[in-house]
Amino acid sequence: MNNNGYPWGVPQAVLQRAYQKSSLYVITKLCFLFFIWYCLGFCILKTHSIGLKIIMWFFLGYFINGLVQLVHDSWHHTLFPKRWQNRLLGHLLSFLFFVLYHPPRHGHLLHHRYNRTERDPDAYNTGKRSWDLVLLYYGFFLLGVPLAIIHFNVLYPLQFYKRHQLRKHFLQLGFLILVQVFVWIILVQKNMTHLAYQTWLIPVFFTSIWNGMKSVADHFQNDWQGSPLKTATTVISNPLTTFFWNGLNYHLEHHLFPGVPGYNLPLLHPHLKELFQQNRSSLFSSYYKIWWRALIRGPEVIDREGKFNPFKFQNEN
């Protein structure tokens, strides 16, 4: 709250507009993303060049990551007016990535509550110097979705769920496995496994690269136990990425206003930019400028005394 009484200086009229949800927008974007998936999948099946297939898988992963961002917004119930509508879409999209809906949502809401502290379950890029930290950091960078299947379906619930929650979770996991087995039995019977590999499994693997790089960028060069203005990173990027990734490249805005639909976050940025610059918040113009730095730097280290020793590049603000 600033001196004029507005949250972080954003006028009330702008906030009211930003908090508005558009079901038509979400459904249109869903149809558009699946249409792109269908078209690129068709091209992948038609080409015999493995080089061209890899290029198309790589670009398809970029668009499928847009669906991952919609799952993220379903965790916050910011896609549709009713909660059950958000949960339903979240469950359906999560199925495509072989992950249950509730564990990543549980972890993500804890992440918002304890962002950049010892209790943040998503602070995989910061910790005491160890090979485990390095392997986790680069593993998530490149293999986020396969690791998420193991982490959220098994490891996370065992670590964070209570006993009664575990019973419900493993019943849901059993149902997910049964449905996946049923789907794959049908695919085998119809002799369509090659289609599923090339247009589903492999593209999801390539989505890991895009999602991992975005995840690293979301909290690049943030202060450990810092103020809300210094514990998330905004990447202006370009209009296409902002559209396809549902505006969540404005990640600092998302942490300040988690109830705002991702596609409305760009509305807030002009009213927050000066505040970000005054507080030396993490702002970057493109993902490229973060990714190569993140690869070079590696995870951020907390020493034995608990002191945070960041290796920081120059911000663009």
CA dihedral for 261, 262, 266, 268, sign (positive or negative):
positive
Query: Measured in Å, how far apart are the chain's first and last C-alpha atoms?
Result: 22
Write down the pLDDT at residue 271: 97
Q: Would you list the domain boundaries of the chain? A: 7-309
State mean pLDDT over 248-262.
Answer: 98
* pTM, rounded to two decimals: 0.92
Percent of the chain whose predicted confidence (pLDDT) is above 70 = 94
When computed from its CA atoms, the radius of gyration of the chain, rounded to whole angstroms, is 20
Name the strands in the sheet holding 308-309, side by side, starting at the edge strand that comes first in the sequence.
126-128, 300-302, 308-309
DSSP 195-259: HHIIIIIHHHHHHHHHHHHHHHHHTTTPPTT--GGGSSEEE---HHHHHHTTTTTBHHHHHH-TT
User: 2 falls in which pLDDT band (50, 70, 90)?
Assistant: low
**Averaged confidence pLDDT in the chain:** 93
Pairing relation of β-strands 300-302 and 126-128? parallel
> Do 217 and 289 form a contact (C-beta atoms < 8 A)?
no
- Of the candidates 131, 140, 150, 317, the one whose C-alpha atom is nearest the C-alpha of residue 221 is 317
For residue range 305-315, what is the model confidence (pLDDT) as tens digits?
Answer: 444 445 454 55
**Does 66 have pLDDT greater than 70?**
yes
State mean pLDDT over 76-88.
Answer: 98
For residue range 263-309, what is the model confidence (pLDDT) as tens digits?
Answer: 999 999 999 999 999 999 999 999 998 998 998 888 988 765 444 44
Percent of the chain whose predicted confidence (pLDDT) is above 90 = 80
For residue range 217-228, what is the model confidence (pLDDT) as tens digits?
Answer: 999 999 999 999
